[in-house]
Amino acid sequence: MTVYLRSLETAVPPTVLIQTEARDVFAAQPGLTRLGSRLVTTCFDSAAIETRHTAVEEMTMAFRSDDPQFFDPATGLLLNPSTKVRNGIFAEQATALFIEAAQAAVAACPDLTLLDITHVITVSCTGFFNPGPDYKIVRALGLDPAVQRYHLGFMGCYAAFPALRAAKSFCEADPQAVVLVVCAELCSLHVRTSNDPDTIMGSALFADGAAAAIVTAQNAPESPALLRLDHFETVLTPVGEESMAWNIGDHGFEMVLGNYVPHIIDDHIIGALEPLLSRDQSLLGLPYRDIRHWAIHPGGRSILDKVQSRLELSDEQLVPARETLRRFGNMSSATVLFVLKHILELPAEDGDDRICSMAFGPGLTVETGLFTKLRQAGAPLPPAGQSQARPGYRSQAWASAASRA
């Protein structure tokens, strides 16, 4: 059974953080030691990030509020709201982002109706609420109330792969299945000032964003597939369980990102690829050096440097990952889908358009996927006949979705 990715769309909140401006704010906090202040400057400057997006509008100098919760521009102080406050904002703002991305992915498949969607899979590790984002999407888009819903929570940066793998399994079991996959993360809710190196690194890297895809075994001439989903694999490295983690504290979620993580990836990345590339010798038994496109999760600049060096990838092959990091930062589970979208938007070339993708997360977990690019995203589609009506579809702007959430 061949399973396709029919659409892939992304969404980000409208508020933009300029990396140099954020650096100056974090470095000026009164509780920092001299070492802490130097670490802030070093981490922010070496992150290879220029801009990030945040759902916390008050985290900019232009915002004014009588009751600031995260940042007081009048004093320049970063505040420290409770986990409850942060999670309450997640329930509101993440809902809007989930809905926006989901609507865009559905709209990109004009041959499908909303009632064709049989499964919804949502992903996030930056907040919790129930009824959750899967429920909110069904209600907001007007999907069949009997649609099967699944939420993958608190897995971390690699969670888009288990979601896509589950979607592929659903479609292999039922050729009529149409699966909507949506990842949305509000990592910036959990930033705070600290002298702790892990916390400083998280504040320098993490951002907010969402991505959504339609996965199905059905292909259509009027809306041909973007990708063929070939295979997925999971590998746990023999070391690193304590080096990458995501814990819940009284004042937000607490990231553990040890400085040894890039070295662990460097030591084990080739071994982590072996199960993916050896699973089917007739189709996949190819050297990794023969793969043209690489969609690497940009967990940080040093991680990308290690992957590029160990796999002997060219600068051109790392452009999608590095550009995603530069423009959007690390958006946890959604990030690798931004990288994949960048590759899909590249002009088609002669020869094999195989894509190898990977992401890393707590455990230390390495998730990999092998795809085949079938069409350039955004390229003109073949002439289509009358598209079907889309019962229940309501086009809503991001802001209006947020106000209803």
β-pairing verdict for 354-361 and 293-296: parallel
Q: List the structure tokens of 338.
A: 């931004």
Angle between the N-to-C axes of helices 301-311 and 261-278, in degrees from 0 to 180, rounded to the nearest 10: 50
Mapped onto helix, strand or coil, the DSSP state of residue 366 is strand
- Number of C-alpha atoms within 13 angstroms, CB side, residue 149? 16
Phi and psi at residue 88, to the nearest 5°: -65, -40
Residue of 43, 109, 125, 157 with catalytic role: 157
Residue 114: what residue type? Answer: L
Q: List the structure tokens of 258.
A: 């040890």
Residue 376: what residue type? Answer: Q
Tally: H helices and E strands in the chain: 12, 15
Q: Tell me the residue ranges of DSSP E strands in 283-397.
A: 293-296, 354-361, 365-373
Residue 187 is a catalytic residue: no
Q: Which residues contact 306 (CB under 8 A, 6 or more apart)?
A: 262, 263, 265, 266, 269
Integer Cα distance of 90 and 211 in angstroms: 16
Place of tokens 């509101």: 92
Integer Cα distance of 254 and 196 in angstroms: 11
Q: What amino acid positions are annotated as catalytic residues?
A: 157
